[in-house]
Amino acid sequence: MPRVVVTLGAQQGLERCRQFLAGKNPIAARRAADEIRRQFRLLATQPEIGRPAFEDANHRELLITFGDSGYVARYHHLRSEGVVLILAFRHQKEAGY
């Protein structure tokens, strides 16, 4: 089973999303964090679950539903190294999604 590694850029995206939601609703922010962790654990067991990324066939996007929208985690499965590398993390309503 591959291990999930979150890059610095993805960590920054996660923190940005957490701070935004926590400022509006701290309880929802904790629930969102729980769901994100659950989905990252799922990636460790099913690394091909995400949709192929439009502009790069080597990357995939995991859609994480939360509330009326959710989040997108862009990742790359490095099969030979046994790693799922989370490259970026954004809210679905951010520009570019």
Q: How much is the average pLDDT of 54-65?
A: 89
- Give yes or no for a contact between 72 and 62, defined as CB atoms under 8 angstroms apart: yes
Question: Using 50, 70 and 90 to split pLDDT, how confident is the model at 85?
Answer: very high
Domain coordinates in residue numbering, the chain: 3-91
Q: Provide the pLDDT confidence category of residue 97 given band limits of 50, 70 and 90.
A: low
- Report the CATH fold assignment for 3-91: YaeB-like fold (3.30.2310)
| Model pTM score | 0.90
Give the tens place of pLDDT for each residue, 11-48: 999 999 999 999 999 999 999 999 999 999 999 999 99
Do the Cβ atoms of 36 and 64 come closer than 8 Å? yes
